């Protein structure tokens, strides 16, 4: 389990412990956990699912370790999540963001946000993956690009291609980092995922003036690959998804290319009606 996941699970367990008000977690009843879940009604369905999963995984572990006899969280319901529509960043907005980030780099002397935009929008990296990057993760190739070993979400490793035209902007950070964190804090530690996404989102909203978020860059990456004709399995591998269903949620290109095909099908309609 990753440190961020451990931290999040600990926070959820602490919330439940406070609610139980003296009852140890291992002694909690199904009724107490049901009542705790009802306190989450003002949370989003996704948050309720996340909290519930953390609790259920804890009791699965406790049962496996024979710390409890019955699992009190086994029947906790999870809200049904609506299928999310793909939300890739518009190409014009992508250009605006990159140009604004380059201008910011000239003024401040820091190209971090510019490189984060590139790594997310052109390599499909998550905020957490960017925050954990080390110099030792890159293997340079003879064509001027690189191959990046990514320890992805859920423990799924993958190798990501960094194109030569992009790697030229990453290289200064790599030369400075050597084998350490690519984007260190002032104390030399790796940035948190939240810091990467928060800074990028603030830049997109306040400086560029668009409503996109960091994650829309990954959607843009997936959509653009599909538009270039990449097989969906290759897009899945590039994104580091365990399930092809997850990848399909990212592909706005399915709608765009499907619309183009429908238009092409009807292109000779006037002639057919003559």
pTM of the entire predicted model: 0.67
Q: Which of 78, 153, 161, 171 is catalytic?
A: 153
Q: Distance between CA atoms of 170 and 58, rounded to whole angstroms?
A: 40
Q: Which of 9, 126, 134, 220 is catalytic?
A: 126
84-103 residue pLDDT tens: 656 788 889 999 999 999 99
Q: Which of 54, 112, 218, 219 is catalytic?
A: 218
Torsional class of 209: left (φ above 0), alpha (ψ -120 to 50), beta (otherwise) = left
- Please indicate whether residue 126 is annotated as part of the active site: yes
Q: Distance between CA atoms of 174 and 254, rounded to whole angstroms?
A: 36
Distances (CA, A) of 206 to 20, 66, 111, 247: 42, 52, 17, 30
| The architecture CATH gives domain 91-255 | Orthogonal Bundle (1.10)
The more confident residue out of 252 and 22 is 22
DSSP symbol at 155: G
H or E element in which residue 15 lies: helix 3-20
Tell me which residue of 209, 207, 221 sits closest to 117, measured CA to CA. Answer: 221
166-212 residue pLDDT tens: 899 999 998 888 778 899 888 888 888 889 999 999 999 999 999 89
DSSP-based three-state secondary structure for 252 = coil
56, pLDDT greater than 80: yes
Q: Which of 54, 112, 132, 215 is catalytic?
A: 215
DSSP symbol at 136: G
The residue assigned the tokens 């990159």 is 98
pLDDT level of residue 1 (50, 70, 90 thresholds): low
**What average pLDDT does this structure show over 12-40?**
94
pLDDT level of residue 21 (50, 70, 90 thresholds): very high
Tell me which residue of 86, 218, 243, 90 sits closest to 160, measured CA to CA. Answer: 218
- Please indicate whether residue 215 is annotated as part of the active site: yes
Q: What would the two tokens of residue 69 be?
A: 């006899």
Crossing angle of the two packed helices 45-64 and 30-38, in degrees rounded to 10: 160
Q: Which of 51, 59, 122, 250 is catalytic?
A: 250
Q: What would the two tokens of residue 231 be?
A: 């097989």
The confidence score (pLDDT) of residue 177 equals 80
Yes or no: say if 56 and 34 are a contact pair by the CB < 8 Å rule.
Answer: no
91-140 residue pLDDT tens: 899 999 999 999 999 988 889 999 999 999 988 898 989 999 998 999 99
Across all residues in the chain, what is the average pLDDT? Answer: 84
H or E element in which residue 160 lies: strand 157-162
**What average pLDDT does this structure show over 26-54?**
91
The residue assigned the tokens 């969280």 is 73
Q: Where are the alpha helices (DSSP H) in 111-189?
A: 112-123, 127-131, 164-177
The confidence score (pLDDT) of residue 215 equals 86
The confidence score (pLDDT) of residue 225 equals 81
Q: Distance between CA atoms of 256 and 235, rounded to whole angstroms?
A: 17
**What average pLDDT does this structure show over 27-38?**
95
Q: CA quadruple 237, 240, 242, 247: dihedral positive or negative?
A: negative
Q: Residue 14, CB half-sphere, CA atoms under 13 Å: how many? A: 6
Any residues with CB less than 8 A from the CB of 96 and at least 6 apart, and which?
A: 208, 210
H or E element in which residue 234 lies: helix 232-239
The confidence score (pLDDT) of residue 272 equals 46
213-262 residue pLDDT tens: 898 998 888 888 887 777 778 778 777 776 766 666 666 545 555 555 55
Q: Distance between CA atoms of 46 and 81, rounded to whole angstroms?
A: 7
DSSP symbol at 29: -
- Please indicate whether residue 218 is annotated as part of the active site: yes
């Amino acid at each position: 389990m990753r440190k961020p996941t451990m931290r999040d699970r600990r926070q959820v367990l602490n919330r439940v412990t406070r609610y139980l008000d003296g009852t140890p977690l291992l002694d909690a009843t199904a009724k107490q956990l049901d009542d705790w879940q009802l306190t989450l009604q003002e949370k989003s369905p996704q948050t309720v699912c996340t909290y519930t999963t953390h609790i259920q995984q804890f009791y699965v572990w406790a049962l496996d370790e024979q710390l409890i006899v019955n699992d009190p969280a086994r029947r906790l319901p999870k809200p049904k999540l609506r299928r999310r529509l793909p939300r890739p960043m518009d190409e014009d907005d992508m250009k605006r963001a990159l140009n604004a980030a380059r201008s910011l780099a000239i003024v401040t002397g820091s190209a971090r946000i510019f490189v984060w935009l590139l790594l997310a929008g052109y390599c499909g990296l998550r905020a957490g993956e960017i925050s954990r990057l080390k110099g030792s993760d890159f293997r340079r190739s003879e064509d001027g690009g690189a191959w990046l070993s990514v320890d992805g979400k859920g423990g799924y490793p993958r190798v990501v291609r960094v194109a030569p035209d992009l790697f030229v902007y990453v290289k200064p950070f790599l030369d400075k980092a050597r084998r350490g964190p690519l984007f260190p804090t002032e104390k030399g530690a790796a940035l948190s995922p939240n810091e990467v996404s928060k800074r990028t989102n603030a830049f997109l909203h306040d400086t560029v003036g668009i409503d996109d978020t960091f994650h829309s860059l990954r959607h843009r990456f997936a959509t653009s690959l599909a538009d270039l004709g990449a097989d969906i399995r290759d897009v899945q591998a590039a994104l580091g998804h365990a399930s092809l269903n997850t990848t399909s949620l990212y592909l706005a290109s399915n709608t765009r290319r499907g619309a183009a095909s429908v238009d092409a099908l009807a292109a000779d309609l006037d002639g057919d009606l003559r």
